[in-house]
Amino acid sequence: MTEQDLTHLRTLLLQRRREVFTRLHQFEADWQALGERDIELEEEAQKTDITTLYDRLDERTKEEIEAIDLALCKMAAGSYGICEECEALISYGRLKAIPETRLCVACARRFEKKQKRLRRPHELIPCAALPEEYRNMSDEELELLIIEHLRNDGRVELDELEISCRRGMVYLEGLLPDEVEHQILLQILTDVMGLTSVVDLIGTDEIAWEREDRTPGKVVPPPLEAEPPASVGRDYSEDVFESLEEGIPYTPPEGPVPEKE
């Protein structure tokens, strides 16, 4: 696979990851709203069915996120696209269709025929050892701490940067202006904060930071309003209005309209 192919597959994985989280958050919001309602007795059975559905969806969604995270970990480690069963390369076409797949077509068919299952993705995702001061933090608390540290440092642009944490792993996504800032970010995370397990999915794009609205200290002038043609004066407008009001066809003047004194 070329570097361009890997970049495309990484984009697909990140897009699918965002879609899964969006779907999960929406379902959680709907479930919370249902729980806040006054449920009548006849609705209790329906609520029970929804609870079962939520449990199934939550488990399936977790496994889907874990599979995507495992694929991203493999991509960062250079082992992405290798079948876990026969260790052959998985075809680019299959990866494009199912970027988080762990089996080639032949092994997937054998597993389906024998009704075999792979190990859960989370069993293969490395659980990073965190420094002592972070071990009791949740993933969300660690994310907020990293963002706060970067904001206080001030050397890394945060506008296009996405940081997420899972099982002690730090995932970096988005764009930075240049490679210098990219290396500063990695140095802060690894050397300063001691976070050694970082999945680096950052891209750099200088053009995005050359837009006028991103240039520090530069005031972007408001768009100029289009001026009306010189021939469109107040008298001209009044003549048109009177013509329409009286139902008389309007004939524009051949020359400039003299100004009223």
Query: For residues 169 and 171, what is the distance between their CA atoms, to the nearest angstrom?
Result: 6
Averages of pLDDT over each 10 residues, the chain, 261 residues: 88 84 71 59 53 61 84 83 94 94 94 86 68 89 95 93 84 87 92 84 66 50 50 47 51 56 51
For the chain, the domains span 3-124, 132-209
Which residues lie across from 199 on neighbouring strands? 171
Q: What is the pLDDT of residues 44-76, one digit of tens each?
A: 555 555 555 555 556 777 788 888 888 888 887
Mark out the alpha helices in the chain (DSSP H runs): 3-36, 44-77, 92-97, 105-114, 121-124, 139-153, 179-187, 234-246
Assign domain 3-124 to its CATH superfamily.
DksA, coiled-coil domain (1.20.120.910)
CATH topology of domain 132-209: Histidine-containing Protein; Chain: A; (3.30.1340)
Q: For residue 109, give both structure tokens.
A: 């068919």
**Cβ atoms of residues 178 and 202 within 8 Å:** no
Nearest to 99 by CA among 27, 1, 173: 1
Q: What is the DSSP letter of 259?
A: P
Q: What is the pLDDT of residues 171-213, one digit of tens each?
A: 888 889 888 999 999 999 989 999 877 878 787 666 655 655 5
Identical fold between 3-124 and 132-209:
no
